[in-house]
Structure 1
Amino acid sequence: MAAESPAPRSCVPRRSVRWRPVLAAVCAGLLAGAPAAQAAPKPTVKQLKKELAALQKDSDRLITDYYSSRIAHQKADKAEKAAREKLTAAQEVFDRHSTDLRALAVAHYTGAEPNQTAMLVANQDPEALLSRLALVQHLVSLQDAKLRGYAKVRDDRQRAQEEATARAEELDQTLGELEGRKKKAEKQIERIKDKIDQLYRAPGMRPDGTFVPQLPQGADNITPRMALVRQLVKERFEVPFGIGCYRAIQDGGEHPLGRACDFMLSHGGALPSAAERARGDQIAAWAIKNARRLGIMYVIYRQRIWHTRTGVWRAMSDRGGTTANHYDHPHISVY
């Protein structure tokens, strides 16, 4: 006969008679509860590369769409310019014919009165009268032709106006499509950059997420962890005004330990341009986003400090200058 399995030990003290029903219910709930949730496993390099390949394939499609939109926009721009030139020429002809038409109207309304015309006809001989009537008929024919010509010019100008308006609307539409596709492609490129970042892990990370201290190395006297962060920032954002890391001055910070770098946004203590300030914002945001994975301890930028422990920005005291207050560079320190 098979031995019975031992009953699970109760978590209710035997002496707690009065509270035994309540404690028993609590214990039952704890024992029957679901196992503690485990953190989702980190993606492997193989998985990340597979996801990266899919992102790049989709990126190629978006870039192709963007290219097609650029071509369509360029064609629309060319057609709009041609329509505007055509309208300008039509307007010039229209203005000239309008002037002629006004002159014709003035001549008509300032001519002889009917009784005066009859008197002139009565006093002329037949030959002269025929010549004058022929001239009048000729002038009437010229007037009719001028009126017909004016009508054509007017219609041509109207068509040119409508075509110019249509081409301008088409240009606006293609511009909107171009901007939309550009933004989609840019977002996809950012996803690819983020996925590439995830391929890197800070050296010296323990399984519990803490970091083993590192010694500076190489000619630039910075730790491998700082070297990785510097490389990633330099490749992703470019830093045209230089990167300063190790310095021997013992100021209580991480620079003398090879664990900090300054990513300069201007020269000589000058305030950075709006574009460079935006670059600084992007570097700081990237550092915060990747802090735990890359072993970033804190970020200083624009007289504020963000620390991994708190996860929020806080103001710093005035240190007396653009560089000292970190307005011209984000500072990144690693563990």
Structure 2
Amino acid sequence: MAVASSAGRRRGLLRVLGTTALLTALCPGLTAAVPLTALADPKPSVKKLEKELAALQKESDKLIEDYYHGRREQQQAEKAEKAAREKLAGSQEVFDRHATELRAMAITQYMTGGSENMALLTGVEDRGGLIRRLALTRHLADEQHAKLSGFARVRDGHRQAKEEAEARADELDATVKDLAGRREKAEATIEKIRDKIDQLHKAPGRRSDGTFVPQLPDGSDNVTPRMRLVKSLIERRFGTGPGIGCYRPIQDGGEHPLGRACDFMLSRGGAFPSPAEVQRGHAIAEWAIKNARRLGIMYIIYRQRIWHVRTGSWRVMTDRGGTTANHYDHPHISVY
């Protein structure tokens, strides 16, 4: 009887597979739109996640390399732009000095040119004086020509330096924008890698219906395996900061003496944390919310607010009278 049942099951499976092949041949889009349960793979295997993680890590390494290459390009562009600005400033100084000299020469010529020409026309002076005046006039004309030529060179150099400085500034802006794009892309890829790492871990003691079996604390740290997993994942992603406090023997009605809670400190001695540490606390809380159902996280307390997995939202808590008591210097995480 068991053999007949086994054979019947095989024939039934063959009929399913035959029907699937026929549907695929006749309606290729149908099986994609309505996947059959017998062929579906809703949960990626650990091996598949590890393969995806390795690919993302490789992509991330390439992006980070591109990012640092972009930083070097930015530094070179900044150096070139600074040199162009210094060159422009020097050229401007020479330009202004030559312009002042030319203006002074023009004024002098305007004020003395008339009387000199009149003397040449009337012949008031003797022949020797006339020759000297002609030589002086020629000398002044040559000097003026030299100054005008020098001014033209300075003017052209000034224009070239200005154009070069503007070009370097445009190049710097483009490099900075490109670098920002590379950094955003690298950070997005790294975030994907972190998510993949998180997905490789499942909270121990989870039932098929999504609830969690009770656990006893163990080990030298006196925390449950479930709390230890959450703590290690947070340490890996966000670091330890000023410290992490979990088990404490004081029976205060909470989860700390049960080994089911940890405080992820952002400052020491009750001091208010820095803006960067406050943001790190927000990041830890957001991560815990994102992974709560998978890791068995029951609730989170941070900055006088509590989030519970049953409600899925934050609510304000009563004032307990201090930075630490109101959880302004640390997020608190409790697990089932």
Question: For this structure pair, what is the TM-score category when the shorter chain's length is used for normalisation?
Answer: 0.7 to 0.9
CA drift of 1:148 comes to: 1.4
SS at match of 2:70: helix
Match of 1:80 in 2: 81
Q: CA deviation at 1:227?
A: 1.1
Gaps of 5+ in 1: 1-33
Shift of 1:226: 0.9
Distance 2:309 2:37 in 1: 24
Distance 2:116 2:153 in 1: 36
Q: CA deviation at 1:219?
A: 2.1
Query: After the TM superposition, which parts of structure 1 deviate over 6 Å for at least 4 consecutive aligned residues?
Result: 34-40
Q: Distance in 1 between matches of 2:128 and 2:119?
A: 16
Distance 1:64 1:112 in 2: 70
Matched, 1:264 2:233: no
Aligned to 2:28: none
* Counterparts in 2 of 1:171 and 1:35: CA distance versus 1, 3 Å: closer
Alpha-carbon distance in 1 for matches of 2:280, 2:89:
45
CA distance in 2, matches of 1:87, 1:35: 69
**TM, length-normalised to structure 2:** 0.84
Q: What is the identity, as a one-letter code, of the residue corresponding to 2:151?
A: Y
Return the index of the structure with the highest Cα Rg: 1
Alignment CA distance shift 1:129-1:46 (3 Å):
same
CA separation of 1:84 and 1:287: change in aligned 2, threshold 3 A: same
Q: Which amino acid aligns with 1:226?
A: M
Q: What amino acid sits opposite 2:125 in the alignment?
A: Q
Partner of 1:118: 119
Shift of 1:189: 0.3
Partner of 1:163: 164
Q: Against the structure 1 CA distance between its residues 115 and 182, is the aligned structure 2 distance closer, same or farther, given a 3 Å change threshold? A: closer
Q: Distance in 1 between matches of 2:35 and 2:169?
A: 65
2: CA distance, partners of 1:147 / 1:112:
18
- Aligned partner letter, 2:246: C
Aligned residue in 1 for 2:249? 248
CA 1:190 to 1:116, structure 2 compared with 1: closer, same or farther past 3 Å? closer
Correspondence 1:24-103 to 2 at 5 A: 41-103=42-104
What residue number does 1:198 align with?
A: 199
Contact 2:120 2:130 in 1 (8 A): no
1:1-335 correspondence to structure 2 within 5 Å: 41-111=42-112, 113-114=114-115, 117-118=118-119, 122-335=123-336
Report Cα offsets for 1:50-84 as digits up to 9, x if no partner: 11122122223322332332232222222211211
- AA matched with 1:188: T
Mapped partners of 1:171, 1:54: distance in 2: 33
Letter in 2 for 1:68: H
Q: Residue 212 of structure 2 aligns to a residue in which SS?
A: coil
The answer on whether the counterparts of 2:95 and 2:158 sit within 8 Å (CA) in structure 1 is yes
Identity level (%): 66
TM-score, structure 1 normalization: 0.85
Partner of 2:5: none
Equivalent position SS for 1:83: helix
Displacement, 1:250?
1.3
Cα deviations by residue, 1:88-139 (Å, 9 ceiling, x for unpaired): 1111111111121121122112225348842896332212221221121011
> Residue 265 and residue 311 in structure 1: after superposition, are their counterparts in 2 closer, same or farther (change >3 A)?
same
Q: Structure 2: state its 5+ residue gaps.
A: 1-33
CA contact (8 A) 2:261 2:332 kept: yes
The C-alpha deviation readout for 1:274-312, integer Å capped at 9, x for no partner, is 111110010000011111111111100111111111111
Residues 144-186 of structure 1, C-alpha deviations (whole Å, 9 max, x = no match): 1101111111111011101100110010001000000110000
Is 2:119–2:125's contact at 8 Å kept on the other side of the alignment? Answer: no
